[in-house]
Amino acid sequence: MGIISVQEKTNKFWDNYSKFLIRFSWIILILSLIITVGLTICLLCLIQIRQFDQTDFIVRNGRASKNAQLINKIFGSDKDVRTHQQMDLYPALDVIIKRKINHENINETNMLNNQIIEEIRSLDKLIHSIQINDVNNSKQYNYTSLCAIINRACMIDGNYLLSDKFHKDALNLRYVESGIYFDSLTGANGLASFIFGKDYKIINATLPEVDYDEEEDEEEEKGEPEDLPVVKHTSSEKTISYVPIFRIRYSLNISNDHMRHLSTQWEREVLHYLNEKYQSNLIEISPSTSTAITDTVGKQARDEGPFMAIMLLIFFIFVGFFISIQGNFHTSVGYLSICGVLNLALATGATFGLLSVFKIQIIEPMALIIFVVAIIESMRISIVCGEYHQIIKEYLPVSSINASTKIDIEKILPSIIKSTRPYFLSSTLIIMITYAIMSIISPMSCTRYLGLTIVLYIFIEYITHCTFFASCLVITLKRIKSRRHCLFCHQLPNDYYIKDRRKSLSKTLNKQVTTLTNVDPIFKKIFTGFLCLLSVIFIICSIWLISSIDTRLYEDKFLPKNASSLKSYMRAHFENYDIGPVIMFVIPKPMNYENKKNQLLIHNLVAQCLNETAMNNKFKLVWLEQEDLHDVLTSRNPLSVRLTPYSQNDLVISDKKNRSVIKASRFFCQYRSTKGDRNDLQAMYNMYTYAEQSSLPSIFPYSFIFLHYESLAQIRREVYLLTIFTITTTFLITFVIFLSFGKALLIFTNLLALLTGSLACLYLFHNLTFNFANSLWLFVIPVIFLDTLIHASFNITK
């Protein structure tokens, strides 16, 4: 009795809604137009578009963000801009250089050549000479002048390649076990794994060691002719004989937003020049900057915006065409599809106009939401028009005997609404509840913002569908009742739509379907059971496959085809290097560093880091191994004298009367790559675990890449949660609205198979990964087919 009572109240509500539409259809149409058009005008006048970049995915209150704030509080800004001390990715120009292939000698790729080195030094001068204009004060800046106005807080990583010492020793370059090359005269330095890559070759060479007698020195001082040195003995040493690649990075630290703007402007200008204008007969360069990927993808998206709009228009043209051929010339189904397009345009203008009124900036990925809502709207239009045509055929005269039968709108409209509106209401509630929950629990501002926008957008779209589009439906029915075509005003004859026709194609198809259904019930059960078992196996396999989807920090397949230089840089970065971002372990509190147990704990932590498969086991930087601890604690000399250049800004020392105290310190290990795959993310979590298990006071790990790795992990987590919430909410909402466990379970299983199967197929056939390029698509597509799925499932149960 309770279920029947609820159904009666629901039917009564839709009947009253139908009567209201019939009575005030023109008023509803005009009011909805005034409100939506007004908000659209506000959008055009007040719109604020903000460029979208990867930082929008950063988990603001995550562990990495909090640790970064603590490090900045303890150590301050890293004025020396040493690579291993970076807390963020500074604006920089990173150039990977290879030798051009000589057709006479294809195998000649060795960079250790005087002509190649001279060409690189010329390239360096060119980079230093490129200038930018500051619109605020009409001044021009190049790399050197930018360094000067930010207190010289910049560094050329790998500037050892530009030094006179390297130019002199390049053809007979000694191999240094530490991997650090240093020019004592200029301070230029370079890490072998950075400036040479991982594939340089070492040989044992016999080198002459020269020695001079004092008499020869005296003769040279007297101005006598210089003789050749006397070779005393020889020795065998390791030398670098082959280097396939050089790398130089021009970094710029920033102190405020204005300097960040200038630094970013400079790196973009240099990148444009190197990609478009620079030419060399000796070397090939693959440059990149901190904003290169974002700029390239953003520019391509903006350039393709008009084409996407044309594609959307073509999509609606085909929707209108296929909807119109469902009916005949009189039922005017094609006319309603045009009203549906207008309904989408009005809902879009009203949604973003409302955001503009409250001065909320619109980010570029909002175009994805428009596409998703456009697909949802087209499906709703198709469902309404299909039901409209199916129902109105029952009220049209069947033969010439009752050709004068009148069309009763008060019977037709409630039937159409009851067969469509509850499904739309359920899908709208599912989408709103799902994304509202995701917006509440998501720590990323990007997904929170997109989620709330989807909630607002789908709500306004449903309201406009219930007002503007519904009033257009009523007006169309009134025109049919008066036997007037939708586009013309002349009346049609009473027998225009008589159905005394010959056997049609639809009747033939219905006969064939009826024949197929007359099958042995036992065979039906066996076949149905087999399909159910196959579906269960498919769902289980799909769930297992989507749990195997990996993450990636960058995917060059998402870059445009014309970004060959950037693709070459990314490919060289992955193929020619086994070094990635540096991880720093920070001890933020004072402790007894002279205690052997504490020293052992530090070395054990570094050893654990080096043993990780995702880590570079050839690099570590522990200040205890570089510094004289006793001198650091007891000497009265300035800190710059007590510490070597390798440990500058790695210790915070407070000087007391008789002894100094180390208030904080940090030491380092390094990732092997920057893929951002499952191993890299697991290594990050392992670093947190090792730090928590260590007895060192309050120690924690940090790397600027942790911010992005946390975001990747959160993206993967939220895609899984969104899938779970969508499926669960669908089951609950359909069960509550339609009060049928069987129907809700049917929709639940169909949606589960659809979502998991889609992700599994993308993983199998397109090597799907979770990354910053496709995460927004994965965030909005799970709700596309809800209306069609719910409507089809309920029609099957009928």
**Residue pointed to by tokens 């075509």:** 485
**Of 264-278, 621-635, 703-717, where does mean pLDDT reach its minimum?**
621-635
* Per-residue model confidence (pLDDT) at position 152: 53
Helices (H), 396-504: 409-418, 421-441, 445-464, 470-481
User: Which of 439, 465, 429, 454 minimizes the C-alpha distance to 355?
Assistant: 454
| Residues 328-370 pLDDT 10s | 555 555 577 788 888 989 999 999 999 999 988 888 778 888 8
Mean pLDDT of 643-667: 83
Q: Looking at the predicted structure, is the pLDDT value of residue 636 above 90?
A: no
List the one residue out of 649, 679, 674 whose CA is nearest residue 664: 649
The mean per-residue pLDDT over the stretch 288-295 comes to: 86
- pLDDT surpassing 60 at residue 293: yes
Place of tokens 């004092």: 214
Helix (H) or strand (E) holding 109: none
Q: What is the pLDDT of residues 657-697, one digit of tens each?
A: 777 889 999 999 999 888 899 999 999 999 999 999 999 99
Q: Which of 594, 447, 433 is nearest to 60 (CA)?
A: 447
**104 or 683: which carries more pLDDT confidence?**
683
210: Cβ contacts below 8 Å, ≥ 6 apart: 229, 230, 231, 232
Domain 25-47+297-494 in CATH 1.20.1640: yes
CA distances from 468 to 33, 342, 343, 348 (A): 7, 9, 7, 13
Nearest Cα to Cα of residue 14 among 414, 394, 349: 414
Higher per-residue pLDDT: 454 or 561: 454
List, for residues 515-548, the tens digit of each pLDDT value.
Answer: 555 666 777 778 878 888 898 999 999 999 999 9
- Check residue 221 and give its pLDDT: 44
Torsion of CA 279, 282, 286, 287, to 10 degrees: -60
How is residue 532 written in tokens? 């159910």
pLDDT for 762-792, tens place per residue? 999 888 899 888 888 889 888 888 888 888 8
- Which of the four pLDDT bands, split at 50, 70 and 90, describes residue 553? confident
Mean pLDDT, residues 599-623 taken together: 91
Q: What is the mean pLDDT of residues 195-203?
A: 89
The token pair that represents 246 in the structure block: 């050089």
Contacts with 89 (C-beta within 8 Å, 6 or more apart), sequence order = 290, 704
Q: Where, residue-wise, is CATH 1.20.1640 in the chain?
A: 25-47+297-494
Instruction: Give residues with Cβ within 8 angstroms of 18, minimum separation 6.
Output: 410, 413, 414, 417
Packed helices 741-766 and 786-797: angle between N→C axes, nearest 10 degrees: 130
Lowest mean pLDDT among 301-310, 445-454, 666-675: 301-310
DSSP state at residue 271 = H
* Structure confidence by residue, pLDDT tens digits, 53-85: 777 888 888 899 999 889 988 887 654 546 666
The pairing of strands 362-363 and 49-50 is parallel
Per DSSP, 365 falls in state T
Residues 6+ apart with CB under 8 A from 287: 93, 94, 95, 96, 270, 271, 274, 275, 565, 569
Q: Is 342 exposed, middle or buried (0-12, 13-18, 19+ CB in 10 A)?
A: middle
**Which residues have CB under 8 Å from 319's CB, separation 6+?**
337, 340, 378, 381, 382
Exposure on the CB side of residue 440, measured as CA atoms within 13 A = 8
pTM: 0.84
Average pLDDT over residues 427-447: 93
| Helix, coil or strand: residue 413 | helix
Q: 384 pLDDT exceeds 70?
A: yes
3-state secondary structure 299-357: HHHHHCHHHHHHHHHHHHHHHHHHHHCCCCCCCCHHHHHHHHHHHHHHHHHHHHHHHHH
Q: What is the pLDDT of residues 147-192, one digit of tens each?
A: 887 655 577 888 999 999 999 988 888 998 878 888 888 888 888 8
